[in-house]
Structure 1
Amino acid sequence: MSMKQFFSLFLLLLPIIVFSQDNNGSISGEVRDAITKQPLPGANIVISGTLFGAACDDKGYYVIKNVAPGKYSLKASIIGYESSTNSDVVVSPLRNKKISFELNSSTIEMNEVSIQSDYFARPAENVVSMRTLSPEEIRRSPGSAEDIFRVMQSMPGVATAGGKSAQLIVRGGSPDENLTLLDNIEIYNPIHFARTGESMGIISIVNPALLEKVDFLTGGFPAKYGDKMSSVFDMKLQDGNKELYNSDVNLNIGGFGVMVDGPLIDNSSMILSVRRGFLDVLTSMMGKPAAPRYYDAVGKITYDIDANNRLSFVGFYYIDQIDKLGTTKES
């Protein structure tokens, strides 16, 4: 092959090479102590089966760049702590995936048995009737319309309040006996169109794409959750990306939604989701007299004051409306 032919071939392949590099994503997050919530500088983050990895800075923050799109297993480890693995990390093109870890301390002794944690961590105080879900598990759950409450309806000991309702009846108790938390904030009515004493409620007010994890306890839950008798539904919002802006548009049976997240000023990030249901459009097409319409917005702003202190602002707002058409009877 002559030099001219080689140069021409290189020019033809150059856009493909550049495109493949620019099409990669990235992974970022934090590693903290599970008890004190303090950052763990120097913790190692490795993508299993690859040579990609990173070490945390003095704030416990890490970034792994130029990761090809796909599904990976991510492992966090540091001396003096039990390692932790997240085996359900999905990297999308040109997007940053935020994965954070909380590690439990361990004692290292020579010539003794070494105990390692499993992939799915379960706190010692929550040993009975507990299930933890990730956003990917919620998204893949069949027949749930990507709604977290409908996913839990398939668990043992959980019944529905009707085929059209997303409310949960746990161990025979009323839906009012369930405790719902969003970043430790109690939500008294977490489902659209839910009414006390009625088998109503269509879909959750929280977009599951915002969640970092969900803990669902149906019995034996710790005293810190108060006096609720049936279950505890503990949702934790993820923090926004500190590296770049992400946007996501979603359309399913639950409605149309837009989610954005990214950095703000130095040491701060935001994440916001806005949704609108289109049940009113469906009922109008079917000629039904009632047109239910709902909107919801959930957001979080996080600011790192220093390596040991963090300030978070969480807010949510939703509107439920039902328009009814009819005729007036003349006397």
Structure 2
Amino acid sequence: MLKHYTLLLFCLLTAYSFAQPSQNVRGRVMDSETFSPITGAKVIVNTRDTTKVYGAVTDDNGSFFIPDVPIGKHQLSVTIFGYDDKTLTIDVNSGKETVLEIPITESYVSQSEEVIVTARKSGEVINELALISARQFSVEETDRYPGSRSDPARMASNFAGVQGADDSRNDIIVRGNSPLGVVWRVEGIDIPNPSHFAISGSTGGPVSILNNKILGNSDFFMSAFPAEYGNSTAAVFDLKLRNGNNQNHEFTGQFGFLGTELLAEGPMSKSGNSSYLVMGRYSTLSLFKSMGIQIGTDAVPTYGDGAFKFNWRLKNGANLSLFGIGGKSKIEILISEQTEYTTELYGEGDRDQYFGTAMAVSGLNYKQSISEKTYLSTTLAYSYEEQKSKHNYLLRHLDTLDKGTENETYRIVVDSIFQMMGYKYQHHKVSHHLAITHKFNTRHLIKAGLNTDLYYVVQRDSALPLVTDSIFEKRWDYEGAYILIQPFVQWKWRATEKMDVTAGLHAQYFSLSNSFSGIEPRLGWRWRIKNNQSVFAGAGMHSQTQPLYTYTYHRYDTNGDKIYHNKHMDFSKSIHTGIGYDIAIGKSWNIKTEAYYQHLYSLPVSIQPSYYSLINMGAGFQRFFPDSLKNTGTGTNYGLELTLQKFFDKSFFVLVTASLYDSKYKGSDGIIRNTSYNGNYVFNVLSGKEFKLGVKQSISLGLKATYAGGQRYGYVDVAETEKYHELIFLSDGFNTRRFRNYFRLDVKINWKYNAKKTTHEIGLDLVNVLNTKNLLSLAYAPNLSDPTVEPIAEKRQLGFLPLFYYKIDFRFSKK
């Protein structure tokens, strides 16, 4: 009997394995400016099977459904009279339906009402008001980049003009600007730093809370962005959360070194008018420790995160969604447990550190096409972020073992431990976004709205000054509420068939410092000349608040009253200008070059003459303690960028980016210096190839090489460093020295197998495959064996880091 069952099971598995897999392709076609549904659009999937037509026509809701499309990579085209043709590459897998949101642009109509139809090229941004310094963030495209770890920030660091700060963090430096200038946005609202282990005020961290499995295609802006975006002088990452499948239940499971993930999505009603998407992840980095693989710390970080989106399609073209993103993390770096002497300890080498963070955002978004010409979007959200830390100082000495012999070694002995510092920051925020878009005709469109953020913060911090051995000193003891208001209006004019112009106004007011930006103009221009070529230019004024905790750092006067030195800091301000040229070659190749100049002013610098400026802050794990700042600092960034890209439309992709730039600033001492992020050049080469192994299997290989200028630094003030037990640089020669140039080679290998309703994928991401010893920074590290040696140690970037994962996608029909 057992033999019969075994034979039957073998036959079933054999039939299942050799079945021809296919999948449904469906979605919605809409106007790219008003988001109203497009009825009657013809959607065709071009496959190798020329005997059968895979196509559909959109219904009254703009929806289409194409069943049983063969798995693989295909070209999908959308055509309808009065709109530009659109073509995009889709990757059809058996484990998940291919569900698309396709915006198309209304064709230019001349005075004689003749419709001119042109094809839209790959990679164009979603926001139609962005004409310069913008990149589309394609999840399917960027997920193939080696070394990116499915992290949106690390993926974006491959764009021209963008680079990462270091291997262990995902801070992104845009055109020489501090990472402090980057704003993360979801559904129209600015969200807290979406990273685990995020230092207060920063915009990056070691591990992203965001997961690309919940994202749709998004936009990344680097300069002179449209008027709807504010409170940034560097870049805006405008993220889109995708909806769950509203027809079938689908599941994704993934196991890897960076986390164990589960995702579920599907319909919430039989009508298909609602959907859910829920996912969660928990860290599995403890595997590294058990296998003896170094991950850049002497402690194992613990973290977990999740996200959800519930979506309801309402009557009269309205849509309501409830979304949320959040994560929590902690790490304990216990130097006291390290008895073996080494000069390369992670963290500060004289203390135990306990650090934890949390971040959450949840909101309701309502969208409605009020008419074919008018579209409304509004979001109400609540967000929370928390950072807390405790440092315990160690008094230690060295014991010599087997003294006087060939086996002489050293052992660290801890004499006593006492707390030297502790802090906890909690930031609550209620945000509201309102935007109304109205298209007067095919040539004129206007978008206006208001962004409002109401903050409530609690900031506590105290430290024991080791210099004086006095009692604990409170550095932050603040609790209060304030508001940030940002109105905007933007106009788009299609001046001719080939020329677009955008103009906008933005303003912002911040009640804590009573700062008003004034009216900030934004301008963009693009001229599409013959043979798929374009020239473009733009300019804009931008303002940004400082990290919240920098306003409330205080001292006490002789009467015991708090003195807030920086509560009235003004905005940092910037003027962006740029000009560029691009050309589309064939269906998938594109060349783009852009030159830019940015003038920064009203930067916070120290009142006492020195090199200090907030322009150099924002990357790494250290807070900064600004005392008595004024907004008189300036800076300049200028450079030239080149991008050569072949989009992944068939079996391979290529991305080559080059950035040449210079980044300077002036502190309160009037000396012009290099900023800490002035690497002068960055070169990236990425390429990938997919090899088909029959109908169901494929192997993908990817390669990435990065070469960049070394990080800037200065000369250490040894006396002050020893006095305060932290690294302090001299003003003379600050940022005149630099580490050797940075180089890293990454390799990515993926195997994919499509069964009938299941897709299996195994990936191996080999980060820094050559184990290049790049330098990261200098750290305070007293030498216990020889106190006369400078208390400085070199921190190195991550070495060779192999990351693997196994992912499975499968679905159940609602039937």
TM-score by length of 1: 0.86
Task: Pick which of 33-42 and 229-238 moved more.
Answer: 33-42
Which residue does the alignment assign to 2:304? Answer: 295
The size of the alignment, in residue pairs, is 317
Q: Give the unaligned 5+ runs of structure 2.
A: 1-10, 338-393, 395-413, 417-815
SS of match in other structure, 1:225: coil
Tell me if structure 2 keeps the 8 A contact 1:96–1:243. Answer: no
Does residue 308 of the first structure (1) align with residue 321 of the second (2)? no
Change (3 A) 1:228 1:92: same
The residue aligned with 2:27 is 29
Displacement of 1:144: 0.9
Moved more, 227-236 or 255-264: 255-264
1:121-270 → structure 2 map (5 Å cutoff)? 121-122=124-125, 123-196=127-200, 201-265=205-269, 266=271, 267-270=273-276
Match of 2:146, SS state, is coil
AA aligned opposite 2:148: S
Q: Is the 8 A contact 1:261 1:270 kept in 2?
A: yes
Per-residue deviation at 1:133? Answer: 2.3
Shift, 1:249, TM fit:
1.9
Mapping of residues 11-26 of structure 1, within 5 Å = 16=15, 20=19, 23-26=21-24
Q: Taking structure 1 as reference, are residues 168 and 330 closer, same or farther at Cα in structure 2, changes over 3 Å only?
A: same
Corresponding residue of 1:67: 69
Bigger helix fraction: 1
Q: 1:52 to 1:279 in 2, by over 3 A?
A: same
| Cα separation, partners in 2 of 1:90 and 1:116, compared to 1, 3 Å | closer
- The structure where strand makes up a greater share of residues is 2
Deviation per CA, 1:95-141: give whole Å up to 9, x if none. 21111111111246687754332233345531222111222112101
Amino acid in structure 2 at the alignment position of 1:120: G
Distance 1:186 1:119 in 2: 28
**Matched AA of 2:39:** P
State how far apart, in whole Å, the 1-side matches of 2:63 and 2:128 are.
Answer: 27
Shift of 1:283: 3.5
The one-letter code matched in structure 2 to 1:102 is P
Tell me, in whole angstroms, the C-alpha distance in 1 between the residues paired with 2:171 and 2:254. 23
Aligned to 1:283: 289
Q: What are structure 1's unaligned runs of at least 5 residues?
A: 1-11
Runs (4+) off by over 6 Å? 109-112, 197-200
Q: Provide the C-alpha distance between the structure 1 equivalents of 2:322 and 2:115, rounded to a whole number of angstroms.
A: 45
Distance 1:207 1:104 in 2: 29
Moved more, 104-113 or 150-159: 104-113
Give, in whole Å, the separation in 1 of the partners of 2:94 and 2:175.
Answer: 43
Contact in 2 for aligned 1:145/1:253 (Cα 8 Å): no
Asked if the contact 2:107–2:117 (Cα under 8 Å) also holds between the matched residues in 1, the reply is no
Larger radius of gyration: 2
**Which residue in the other structure is 1:8 paired with?**
none
8 Å contact from structure 1 (residues 271, 300) kept in 2: yes
Matches within 5 A, 1:108-127: 114-122=117-125, 123-127=127-131
Partner in structure 2 of residue 322 of structure 1: 331
Report SS of the residue matched to 1:237.
coil
Map Cα deviations across residues 177-199 of structure 1 (whole Å, 9 max, x no partner).
Answer: 11111222322211221214679
Aligned residue for 2:19, secondary structure, equals helix
Q: Which residue of 2 aligns with 1:105?
A: 106
CA contact (8 A) 2:276 2:311 kept: yes
Q: Could you tell me whether the CA contact under 8 Å between 1:47 and 1:53 is conserved in 2? A: yes
One-letter identity of the residue aligned with 1:204: S
Match of 2:279 in 1: 273
Counterpart for residue 604 of structure 2: none
CA–CA distance in structure 2, aligned partners of residues 188 and 239 of structure 1? 22
Measured in 1, the distance between the counterparts of 2:106 and 2:114 equals: 19
Aligned-residue CA RMSD in angstroms? Answer: 2.8
State the SS of the aligned residue for 1:233.
strand
- Contact between 1:207 and 1:273, CA under 8 Å: does it hold in 2? no
**Structure 2 partner of 1:9:** none
| Alpha carbons of structure 1 residues 295 and 83: separation in structure 2 relative to 1, 3 Å | same
Deviations 1:1-26 (A, max 9, x none): xxxxxxxxxxx9xx9599635x3211
SS in 2 for 1:99: strand
Deviates more, 1:60-69 or 1:272-281: 272-281
Q: Is the 8 A contact 1:167 1:191 kept in 2?
A: no
Aligned CA distance change for structure 1 residues 199 and 302 (closer, same or farther; 3 Å): closer
1:43–1:86: structure 2 CA closer, same or farther, 3 Å change rule? same
TM-score, normalised by the number of residues in structure 2: 0.37
Aligned to 1:5: none
**Distance (Å, rounded) in 2 between the aligned partners of 1:43 and 1:118:** 19
Aligned-pair distance for 1:304?
Answer: 0.3
181 and 303 in structure 1: CA distance in 2 versus 1, 3 angstrom threshold: same
More displaced, 78-87 or 293-302? 78-87
1:131-178 Cα offsets, whole Å, 9 max, x none, are 112221121011111211111112222232222110112122222211
Task: Specify the SS of the correspondent of 1:290.
Answer: coil
CA distance in 2, matches of 1:31, 1:216: 23
Corresponding residue for residue 3 of structure 1: none
Separation of aligned partners in 2, 1:48 and 1:148: 30
Q: Deviations over 1:259-284 (max 9, x none)?
A: 22111123101112211222233235
3-state secondary structure, aligned to 1:195: coil
Higher mean C-alpha displacement, 71-80 vs 243-252? 243-252
Superposition map of 1:45-60 within 5 A: 45-49=43-47, 51-60=53-62
Whole-angstrom CA distance in 2 between matches of 1:279 and 1:204: 14
* C-alpha distance in 2 between matches for 1:112 and 1:64: 29
Partner of 2:79: 77
Contact 1:32 1:101 in 2 (8 A): yes
CA contact (8 A) 1:58 1:307 kept: no
Residue of structure 1 equivalent to 2:364:
none
